[in-house]
Amino acid sequence: MEPDPEPLRIADPRLMGGLTLLGRLSSHGAGTVFLGEDHRRNRVVVGVPYPTAAADPGVRARFASAVGALAENREIVASATAVPPIWVAVPYSGGAVQEILGVLDTTALSASAPSPAHVPGFAPHWSPEPHNPLPVSAPPPPGPSRLPVVIPLVAVAAVILALGGVAYFLLTGDDGASTTAASPAPPVPTAPSSDTPSDTPAASPTTSDVPKLTATDDRAHVAGPTFGSGDKLYFMKLNGFPFNFNVPDEWGCMRSDKPPFSDRWICAHEGKGFPPTGGTSAGGLVAIQPCPSGCGPAQRESARNTMVITAKDWHATDPTTQYAEEAGTNDKNEKVVRVAMSHVFASRQGGPVDTAVAVQLTGPTAEKEDMQKIINEIRRRTP
């Protein structure tokens, strides 16, 4: 069984590729070993060399070689080895931490002749702390020779927090939502388990997760059907989003950093393939964007123009929401339909309308109702 993780430190990354980092499993002279999870909440062990190490071309070459050797003997969930940040993720299982520490050993040239103190065989300029192959149970003892290079970053971050507090990044246009500049680290599971953790929603949500329209809820209805008790759902908790929402259980979402959105995810019907071409699948973007000066008519129109829906197709469903729908054929002459929603709301109760969310989904006509259900669900989950 792998060691229990420690909470993330303030300077630690929260995302690596499409993975969410949850806690620290171990430290090394070349980097850190984290516990993480993918969008399906499958746990992974992630090895991340320090930024100062990753900036060294020789380090990157050794890291890529070590990852390639590891891939010959075990599954690699994902990795990035060409340009910083470099990292590798493997499934969370017995021995995974030691395997990733082995990769970092090779990266640091410390595997062949470690010293009695388990430090690298030489003292690279990027090595902030000794190799500790066991779980990090306490901060390194004080002393100038053992201070991690992350300490100055922690101090700077603490000053910024003290002066500025927690700032909200508000969204612009059609595609927005808000996220805090310094959100607390997510809850960290204490041990791998085949059961769903108590603080993590199950793939099939409870009755309270399934929205039901009533006469007073019509304002949150955009178009088409809504999820009901007969739908099998998966509860999405996307990093950076101020709201969670359900999708059909065969759907999945992966992060995309493509502009102009501040937080953008691509959600698709994974059971039928991706990308949604050839009339074989449904999928598209769910994104948020701040409106720094408020989401007025001009900002909302600008945001709508970032989606592939012509202006004439949009119509208001309530004072803060617009919906569009168009049909056509793909390059195989198969019928497809696109549905989209633009909605703006206040990121905090009683505050100005400063956040926009955009949803644009495309797929075969047979999946139109599922796409509309997702739009109605997201509208219901926002103010």
Of 164, 183, 215, the domain-final residue = 164
Structural contact between residues 100 and 45, judged by C-beta atoms closer than 8 angstroms: yes
Of 97, 131, 164, the domain-final residue = 164
Residue-wise over 318-357: b if at least 16 C-beta within 10 A, else e?
eebbbbbbeeeeeeeeeebbbbbbbbbbbbeeeeebbbbb
Q: 181 lies in a domain?
A: no
Record the pTM.
0.46
- Between CA 198 and CA 7 the distance in angstroms is 18
DSSP string, 281-306: --EEEEEEEE-TT---HHHHHHHHTT
Residue 359 pLDDT: 93
Q: Which residue has the higher pLDDT, 286 or 138?
A: 286
> Both 237 and 154 in a single domain?
no
Residue 134 pLDDT: 42
**For residue 379, which amino acid is it?**
R
Q: Which contacts qualify for 328-334: CB closer than 8 Å, 24 or more apart?
A: 330/277, 330/278, 330/279, 331/277, 331/278, 332/278, 332/279, 334/278, 334/279, 334/364
CATH of residue 143:
3.30.200.20
- Between CA 44 and CA 203 the distance in angstroms is 18
Q: Is the Cα dihedral 349, 350, 356, 357 positive or negative?
A: positive
In which domain, by residue range, is 62 found?
A: 15-164
Residue 316 pLDDT: 85
> Both 147 and 236 in a single domain?
no
> Both 49 and 140 in a single domain?
yes
Residue 1 pLDDT: 56
Chain Cα centroid distance, residue 114: 37
Q: In the predicted model, is pLDDT for residue 183 greater than 50? A: no
Q: Which residue has the higher pLDDT, 333 or 198?
A: 333
Asked which of 88-92, 211-215, 256-260, 325-329 is least confident by mean pLDDT, the reply is: 211-215
Per-residue model confidence as pLDDT tens digits over 236-278: 988 878 889 999 988 888 888 777 787 888 888 877 555 554 4
Domains held by the chain: number: 2
Per-residue model confidence as pLDDT tens digits over 295-316: 878 777 777 777 767 666 788 8
Q: 9 lies in a domain?
A: no
> Both 144 and 278 in a single domain?
no
Residue 131 pLDDT: 44
CATH of residue 269:
3.40.1000
